[in-house]
Structure 1
């Protein structure tokens, strides 16, 4: 649940949209059958989101990437009421999100750097503060590969567009829009867009 602080000088609909996003994302994940997905749904349900005070001026998308966001959102699946509610809540939060990008590490092809951004929703750099979860929205231009990487926290992706995903124990595969990808702690993983932009909600469980 999201707790609002006293004397919060923010529009109620921002907090409302955050609550609806958290609830609808939980509902989408809880319909996944694997235990690994259920665990992420439980962590999301237990996470405490607190709206930042004051609200920072968001960092927008670079002009090159701006057209890809409405294109990907317009094509995102709306196959059930939970996905529909999620996309509505997400759209309401988009104007308030700051967009950041990952730098290339030693030995990595750096062409992806300017071709992707993460809209930070909860956790470090996000619209909402949260100590147990980092939640973001990944956007990549067409024909872009996010490099192989790993990190200690477990991670999930709710895939909202076509794209290819890699995990070291599986290889490359295409989960399809509406699919859920789970990366165990410290596993090597990556993703790449096809001829259309890649869009996905991701969460790191701390």
Structure 2
């Protein structure tokens, strides 16, 4: 059991890592020159988040996915300081997040349900409470397809390992590590991993 000093040190380390993640992600988005990226960067800038009062993890990452997460994090891009900072901050935050999975639609292949998880960093169920945005990390095993779906909020992904992406106005394309993917509100989209795990930070 942690004493008050231990709890304070744990919280401060988490808060500091969260600040690094947010600042570095803002820099990546702002540096892309894309209007959609600027809007998401502005949302990160104005978001107010606070660490949850409990340190309990209600949903741990299943053991069969741990190796895939480690593999993908080890291979995550280090091509600039912000990407290095994002990777390092994730390494400190992820042991403390809740991991959830999404259910497939009734008429879709449900194999992906057990082959993927989302680590919830900020927003509903996240390590940080935040009312204006949701931030998470998606991990999918190799050869897994996240089915076609849509939702009202606009969405971005920072791609941390290679994978294939779909958007209804573009079709399928491949993105290398370090790329950005944007999905407008209510746009049908999907993603799938290749022969390596797919790892992406999304908001």
Alpha-carbon contact 2:148-2:189 (below 8 Å) kept: yes
Residue of structure 2 in register with 1:199 after alignment: 199
Identify the residue that residue 3 of structure 2 maps to in structure 1: none
State the distance in 1 between where 2:33 and 2:154 align. 17
Aligned residue number for residue 150 of structure 1: 150
Contact 1:58 1:96 (C-alpha < 8 Å) held by counterparts: no
Does residue 43 of the first structure (1) align with residue 49 of the second (2)? no
Deviates further, 184-193 or 41-50: 41-50
Matches within 5 A, 1:8-157: 10-157=10-157
Q: CA deviation at 1:130?
A: 0.5
1:54 positional shift:
2.0
> 1:58 offset after TM fit, Å?
4.2
Deviation for aligned residue 1:196: 0.2
Q: Structure 1: where are the runs of 5+ without partners?
A: 1-6
Q: CA deviation at 1:147?
A: 0.3
- Counterpart-to-counterpart distance in 2, 1:161 and 1:200: 7
Deviation at 1:8, TM superposition (A): 6.6
**Secondary structure at 1:11's aligned position in 2?**
helix
| Alpha-carbon shift at residue 106 of structure 1 (Å) | 1.4
Aligned to 1:4: none
Determine the C-alpha separation between the residues in 2 that align with 1:52 and 1:133. 15
Offset, 1:92 = 0.7
Q: SS in structure 2 opposite 1:93?
A: helix
| Structure 1 contact 9–54 (Cα < 8 Å) conserved | no
Aligned residues: 197
How much has 1:50 moved relative to structure 2? 0.9
Counterpart of 1:163? 163
Residues 11 and 51, structure 2, Cα contact 8 Å, conserved in 1: no
SS of 2:155's equivalent in the other structure is strand
- Aligned residue for 1:56, secondary structure, equals coil
Report the TM-score, using the length of structure 1 for normalisation: 0.93
Q: Which has the higher helix share?
A: 2
In 2, Cα distance between the equivalents of 1:127 and 1:85? 18
SS at match of 1:67: helix
Mapped partners of 2:39, 2:104: distance in 1? 31
Equivalent in the alignment of 2:4: none
Q: Distance in 2 between matches of 1:173 and 1:154?
A: 19
Alignment RMSD (CA, Å): 1.3
